[in-house]
């Protein structure tokens, strides 16, 4: 297939190269302009075509558009937009010159009678902007616009993305965190801000947690499921691009503020706020926009976590979390239009996420005849910052080029985690769990005694880490028309990109032992109350006392230096890394008549990595012996062809097909050449700096039909064949004069994934009033996979692959009132691959019901209320079979009530 695609591209280039000179731009000009609504707001994704030619384009997020290679003479420019009909403008094109045509599209009264009168149609307007961008995209893309994001009760970017077909999320403390696309684990997808990859704050994984990015900071979310050669190739499942807001043609002033209530914490101490201000100056030549957002939320969870040994209950933890989360975001964008064909932009974004946790646990340990009372208390902070400068220019001959220089940095630090451990020993247990029997709703350890007043302080364990990740990126793109005529047009696009990354993690583990006996009551938190602990759950687990964080920390800080020792296992998690990715691409955009668009091309990416980690050795007696640095690195390059086809059966119906080759680089920590040796146990854990990226050959086919009433029905299939998939290998190896059990990530055998994706959404304007305010939003993705795992007889599905993923939402919008009930679900998937099926760890099915309601109070002010997790959906993991839970966590429900102001 690669040879075929190369041949097609070379043939197209040769064909373009022999085009007559007059057909290649000598008799052509440029048409630029802007598409807006009646209030001056941009209409992105409008379809712009030159009647009588194959030339088409789409308006950008700002509403601006540019058509190059337009034959000179009198022409008619036709602009269409779902929900707003079609409008044509006459223009005289002069060879070698640019002419500007601005188009204002009126609202279609059959679609939305309130837009022109009230300027407020949150759900329908958001869907219209998103669907128009999808309709005109060259590749298979899904878009959610800011208006549509606001119609769902989603606090962060991950949850907003989960409404898109084929996307699901992994959650943390009830909130979306990581994004999975079409059954691929987070590592196989890329997260971007304004087209640039976000550095990962976390030290071990490559994926980025999007819970740090507030949803109200975004103009749109674009998900490319079949990337083109001019896009980064590290996106096997897809690429999620978070688009920040920028100045538009009219002055913008937005503000929102909200409070709320959390049922678990019984707390009304919830605050959220955001604001955006922007305008254009100098006759529209200069645009500036600044936005901020913030939230302070008190959340929590209640969970139980069993562990098993050959089927018998070995451990049971009852946990009570109290969480205080703060998010702050700021973004600034500016642009200067240096004429109709030149634009300079600058963008900056800053996000901060602070997470303070108090986690009290009651831990039954039948295997050790112990009961432990444990407090985990810590602050954890994440920062994401980026700054970029770019320019776009079009020359009079139709040649266009753009460039960008970007800097991005992320950091995650945990300055003060302290675990406090009290123990009662000599406890007998009579668990009701065995290898032959378990009741997942009533797992009991049945201790012979449990008297916290007799528990003694055993130790404090502290963990301190700091991770930084810095990217500097430079890119350049060049495009020129090769052939323009009445029947076809061909454009050539070339480009290059270089990214330099530096990543470090410093990790330290400390253990402190009390110098005298400390009983539990001495550090007890008398204000701690979890009397409602899992009171709805059949097991009837007991409430338990908590440990005072401040008192415990003060006692630890008062220890003499000799009572605190370094645990050198933490040395193995410290590393220093550099990574350089250099890429180049070439592609053609072939408009073979007014309906058919073909995009062949290829991309080449070369990656060079260098890592320094540490070998940590524990001797035959189990004592720490040494730490020494170890270095490693590798270089690899990949040729990545791609081919996209879009055929418009009519203006409302597209058939799309694509072949792409993409990759996913290994997780950062997997590449570290660390080695952790336990000679007493005969175990070695190590990284692998020679890991190869996973490479996938992807096939996509999609049919989509758009409704003028602002809707879509689509269906498609996809297939992925993955090579060099990365697994955790467990093997035997001779080392240090003995036979050791070695655990190491390595490239394994190939795997395949296939699926079906369906979507339907529409505003049901054909219904009689007042039912014509109803809207439907439904999508469903069915996936399956097969993977062969080393040292394992049976195949299994890929990690992250749910068989069923989908959304169902019903909305109603009429006379200023708006409501949307949304149901989001995903099926179980393997989270960790075991040595056999009984050791596979699954992330269980998740189904959540949310509700958003709003009412316009005045032309510019709207009140709203969000109700989340109304079904009290748990986070649930199990091992082997669904009746063997290893974590089951509940959050109850929470709300937000506020106002939004728009001028």
pLDDT of 25 reads: 46
Which residues does 764 contact at the CB level (< 8 Å), separation at least 6? Answer: 709, 771, 772, 774, 775, 776
pLDDT higher for 6 or 180?
180
Task: Record the tokens describing residue 812, joined without a space.
Answer: 């109603």
pLDDT of 107 reads: 72
Which among 768, 849, 843, 766 is positioned nearest to 809, based on CA atoms?
849
Mean pLDDT of 261-271: 93
Answer yes or no: is pLDDT of 8 > 70. no
Read off the pLDDT band of 251 (50, 70, 90). Answer: confident
Question: What's the distance, CA 900 to chain centroid?
Answer: 26
pLDDT higher for 169 or 245?
169
pLDDT of 207 reads: 87
Count of alpha carbons within 13 angstroms of residue 151, beta-carbon side? 29
Q: 415-455, pLDDT tens digit by residue?
A: 999 999 999 999 999 999 999 999 999 999 999 999 999 99
Across the chain, mean pLDDT equals 90
Mean pLDDT of 329-337: 92
Give the C-alpha separation, 684 to 417, whole Å: 27
pLDDT higher for 503 or 26?
503
Question: What's the distance, CA 462 to chain centroid?
Answer: 31
Cβ–Cβ < 8 Å for 208, 200? yes
pLDDT of 26 reads: 54
Burial of 838: CB neighbours in 10 Å, binned 0-12, 13-18, 19+:
exposed
Answer yes or no: is pLDDT of 692 > 80. yes
Which among 741, 701, 706, 733 is positioned nearest to 719, based on CA atoms?
701
Q: How far apart, in Å, are the Cα atoms of 198 and each of 17, 73, 163?
A: 39, 46, 21
pLDDT of 6 reads: 53
Answer yes or no: is pLDDT of 16 > 70. no
Read off the pLDDT band of 812 (50, 70, 90). Answer: very high
Cβ–Cβ < 8 Å for 589, 599? yes
Q: 71-126, pLDDT tens digit by residue?
A: 889 999 999 898 887 899 999 999 888 898 999 988 764 444 333 333 344 566 77
pLDDT of 10 reads: 53
Omega of the bond leading into 736 within 30 degrees of 0 (cis): no
Answer yes or no: is pLDDT of 296 > 50. yes
Mean pLDDT of 689-694: 94
Which among 864, 867, 873 is positioned nearest to 826, based on CA atoms?
873
Task: Record the tokens describing residue 125, joined without a space.
Answer: 């307007």
**Would you call 291 helix, strand, or coil by DSSP?**
strand
Answer yes or no: is pLDDT of 874 > 70. yes
Question: What's the distance, CA 566 to chain centroid?
Answer: 36
Burial of 500: CB neighbours in 10 Å, binned 0-12, 13-18, 19+:
middle
Task: Record the tokens describing residue 719, joined without a space.
Answer: 């297939």
Read off the pLDDT band of 393 (50, 70, 90). Answer: very high
Answer yes or no: is pLDDT of 730 > 90. no
Eight-state DSSP code of residue 666: P
Mean pLDDT of 310-320: 96
DSSP 414-455: EEEEEEEEEEEES--B--S--SS---TT-----BS---GGG-
Cβ–Cβ < 8 Å for 192, 239? yes
Mean pLDDT of 331-349: 91
Task: Record the tokens describing residue 475, joined without a space.
Answer: 């890119």
Q: 608-663, pLDDT tens digit by residue?
A: 999 999 999 999 999 999 999 999 999 999 999 999 999 999 889 999 999 999 99
Would you report the helix, strand and coil content of the chain in percent, each value rounded to 5? 10, 60, 30
Largest distance between two CA atoms of the chain? 95
Q: 521-545, pLDDT tens digit by residue?
A: 999 999 999 999 999 999 999 999 9
Q: 479-533, pLDDT tens digit by residue?
A: 999 888 778 889 999 999 999 999 999 999 999 999 999 999 999 999 999 999 9
Q: Which residue do the tokens 């350049």 mark? A: 476
Task: Record the tokens describing residue 802, joined without a space.
Answer: 């749910």
Q: Strand 546-547 to strand 596-618: parallel, antiparallel, or no bridges (unpaired)?
A: unpaired
Give the C-alpha separation, 30 to 25, whole Å: 10
């Amino acid at each position: 297939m690669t040879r075929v695609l190369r041949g097609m591209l070379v043939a197209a280039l040769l064909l373009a190269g022999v085009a007559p000179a007059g057909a290649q731009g000598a008799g052509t000009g440029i048409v630029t302009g802007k598409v807006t609504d009646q209030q001056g707001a941009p209409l992105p994704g409008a379809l712009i075509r030159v009647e009588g030619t194959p030339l088409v384009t789409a308006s950008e997020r700002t509403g601006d558009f540019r058509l190059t290679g337009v034959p000179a003479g009198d022409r008619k420019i036709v602009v269409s937009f779902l929900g707003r009909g079609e409008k044509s403008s006459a223009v005289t094109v002069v060879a070698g010159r640019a002419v500007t045509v601005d188009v204002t599209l009126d609202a279609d009264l059959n679609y939305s009678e309130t837009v022109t009168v009230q300027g407020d149609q949150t759900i329908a307007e958001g869907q219209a902007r998103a669907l128009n961008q999808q309709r005109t995209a060259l590749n298979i893309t899904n878009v959610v616009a800011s208006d549509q994001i606001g119609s769902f009760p989603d606090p962060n970017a991950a949850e907003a993305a989960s409404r898109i077909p084929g996307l699901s999320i992994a959650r943390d403390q009830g909130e979306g965190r990581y994004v999975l696309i079409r059954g691929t684990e987070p590592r196989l997808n890329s997260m971007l801000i304004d087209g640039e990859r976000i550095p990962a704050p976390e030290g071990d994984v490559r994926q980025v947690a999007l819970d740090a990015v507030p949803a109200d900071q975004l103009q749109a979310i674009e998900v490319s499921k079949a990337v083109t050669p001019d896009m980064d190739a590290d996106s096997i499942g897809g690429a999620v691009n978070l688009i920040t807001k920028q100045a538009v043609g009219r002055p913008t002033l937005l503000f929102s503020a909200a409070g709320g209530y959390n049922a678990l914490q019984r707390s009304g101490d919830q605050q959220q706020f955001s604001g955006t201000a922007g305008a254009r100056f100098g006759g529209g030549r200069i645009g500036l926009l600044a936005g901020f957002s913030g939230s302070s939320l008190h959340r929590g969870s209640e969970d139980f976590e069993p562990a098993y040994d050959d089927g018998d209950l070995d451990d049971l933890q009852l946990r009570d979390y109290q969480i205080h989360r703060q998010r702050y975001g700021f973004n600034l964008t500016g642009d200067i239009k240096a004429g109709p064909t030149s634009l300079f932009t600058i963008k900056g974004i800053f996000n901060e996420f602070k997470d303070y946790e108090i986690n009290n646990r009651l831990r039954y340990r039948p295997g050790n005849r112990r009961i432990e009372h444990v407090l985990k208390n810590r602050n954890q902070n994440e920062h994401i910052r980026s700054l970029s400068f770019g320019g776009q220019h079009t020359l009079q001959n139709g040649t266009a080029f753009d460039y960008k220089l970007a800097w991005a940095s992320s950091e995650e630090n945990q300055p003060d985690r302290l675990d406090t451990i009290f123990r009662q020993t000599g406890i007998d247990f009579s668990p009701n769990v065995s290898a032959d029997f378990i009741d997942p709703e009533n797992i009991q350890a049945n201790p012979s005694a449990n008297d916290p007043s007799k528990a003694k302080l055993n130790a404090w364990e502290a963990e301190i880490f700091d991770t930084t990740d810095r990217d500097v990126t430079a890119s350049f793109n060049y495009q020129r028309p090769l052939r323009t005529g009445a029947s076809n047009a061909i454009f050539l696009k070339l480009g290059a990109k270089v990214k330099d990354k530096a990543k470090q993690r410093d990790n330290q583990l400390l253990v402190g032992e009390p110098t005298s006996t400390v009983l539990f009551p001495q550090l007890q938190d008398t204000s701690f109350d979890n009397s409602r602990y899992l009171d709805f759950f059949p097991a009837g687990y007991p409430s338990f006392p908590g440990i005072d964080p401040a008192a415990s920390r003060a006692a630890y800080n008062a220890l003499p230096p000799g009572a605190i020792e370094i645990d050198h296992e933490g040395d193995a998690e410290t590393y220093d890394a550099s990574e350089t990715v250099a890429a180049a691409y070439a592609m053609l955009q072939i408009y073979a008549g007014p309906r058919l668009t073909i995009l062949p091309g290829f991309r080449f990416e070369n990656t060079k990595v260098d890592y320094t980690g540490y070998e940590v050795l524990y001797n035959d007696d189990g004592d720490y012996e040494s730490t020494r640095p170890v270095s490693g690195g590798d270089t690899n390059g990949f040729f990545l062809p791609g081919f996209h086809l879009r055929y418009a059966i009519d203006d409302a119906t597209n058939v799309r097909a694509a072949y792409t080759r993409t990759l996913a680089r290994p997780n950062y920590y997997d590449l570290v050449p660390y080695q952790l040796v336990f000679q007493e146990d005969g175990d070695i854990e190590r990284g692998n700096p020679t890991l190869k990226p996973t490479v996938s050959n992807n096939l996509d086919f999609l049919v989509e039909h758009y409704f003028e009433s602002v809707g879509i029905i689509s269906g498609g299939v996809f297939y992925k064949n993955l090579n060099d998939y990365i697994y955790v290998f467990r093997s035997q190896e001779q080392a240090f004069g003995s036979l050791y059990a070695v655990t190491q990530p390595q490239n394994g055998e190939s795997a395949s994934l296939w699926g079906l994706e369906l979507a339907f959404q529409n505003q049901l304007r054909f219904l009689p009033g007042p039912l014509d305010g109803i809207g439907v939003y439904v999508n469903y993705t069915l996936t399956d996979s097969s993977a062969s795992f080393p040292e394992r007889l049976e195949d299994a599905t890929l990690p992250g692959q749910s068989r069923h993923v989908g959304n169902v939402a019903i909305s109603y919008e009429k006379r200023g009132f708006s409501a949307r009930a949304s149901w989001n679900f995903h099926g179980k998937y393997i989270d960790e691959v075991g040595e056999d099926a009984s050791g596979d760890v699954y992330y269980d099915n998740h189904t959540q019901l949310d509700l958003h309601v709003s009412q316009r109070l005045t032309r510019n002010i709207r009140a709203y209320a969000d109700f989340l997790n109304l079904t009290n959906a748990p986070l649930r993991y199990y091992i082997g079979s669904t009746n063997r839970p290893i974590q089951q966590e509940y959050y109850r429900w929470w709300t937000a009530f506020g106002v939004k102001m728009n001028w």
